[in-house]
Structure 1
Amino acid sequence: MRAVIYPAFFRHVDTGGYSVDFPDLPGCATAGTTIEDAVSAAREALSLHLYGMAEDGDQIPGASDPSSIPAEEGAFITIIEGRPDMVGDAIKNRSVKKTLTIPYWLNEEAERHKVNFSQVLQEALRQRIGV
């Protein structure tokens, strides 16, 4: 799923800042201390929410036409772009810690040669599995 756009309600809150929710996506909500923060948080929330729905096999609703959404007092609608594909890429490319055992002498020699163990393991795994 590439870039998607959804309408979002922005509301100024009494304590300062803005709350944001998406009428097409119940449970997808966020906030920001400034309008810029709220827009940034809305992009992230939308991306994460849609990525999670796709991973769970949930039906992803289409975005409503903003002109068809009833106005709410004290709220305004803004179109937000989300990138669930980028969330997936970031999750799949994150590092995971692996513990392994090698002979003492090999460890000593590798450290003496300032070998980057993580890099060597990644290169060897890529070569072994052909990616």
Structure 2
Amino acid sequence: MSVKNREYIYPVIITPESSEPHTFTVEIPDIDGMTEGNSVSDALDMAVDYVGAYSLDNELPPSNTNLPKQHGNQIISLIQVHPDEYRRKHDNKVIKKTLSIPNYLNELGKEQNINFSEVLTESLKERLKI
């Protein structure tokens, strides 16, 4: 599988909510999206996650580094999104994989009702440090 390394940059508008302390609304105009966070940093992380999730089902528009006009206490910033990396981390689609193991391990595993897929998944995550 080839690894793409696409990168998209979008402006976001962060607005502190006066009615809810420690709440920051984030508008992502290029994809007509909104989310929120508990701090400016969290709001930026949530915006990146929102765009990443959006990219799973939708084509992203081209990058846009034009900053919108700031009003009042808004914070204008840019976010950087890597949709291919997001997909790799969040694609939980299960695939069937055929593998070979020694017969004695198969027999012992069946006797103890071991879920081979679960063991393989856990082992791969540990080996790959994810």
- Give the TM-score band, short-chain normalised: 0.5 to 0.7
2:25 to 13, 19, 43: 19
- Call closer, same or farther: CA 1:50–1:70 in 2, change over 3 Å: same
**Contact 1:7–1:63, Cα closer than 8 Å, also in 2:** no
Output the TM-score relative to the length of structure 2.
0.63
Counterpart position of 2:12: 8
Structure 1 gaps, min length 5: 55-59, 99-105, 123-131
Q: Identical aligned pairs, as a percentage?
A: 24
Report Cα offsets for 1:73-93 as digits up to 9, x if no partner. Answer: 33121111112112321344x
Q: Match of 2:12, as an amino acid?
A: A
Q: Which secondary structure does the structure 2 equivalent of 1:74 belong to?
A: coil
* Total equivalences in the alignment: 107
Structure 2 gaps, min length 5: 97-103, 122-130
Output the TM-score relative to the length of structure 1.
0.62
Report Cα offsets for 1:41-66 as digits up to 9, x if no partner. Answer: 11111211233213xxxxx3223333
Shift, 1:6, TM fit: 0.6
Shift, 1:19, TM fit: 0.5
Off by >4 Å, runs of 4+ in structure 1 = 112-116, 119-122
RMSD, aligned α-carbons: 3.5
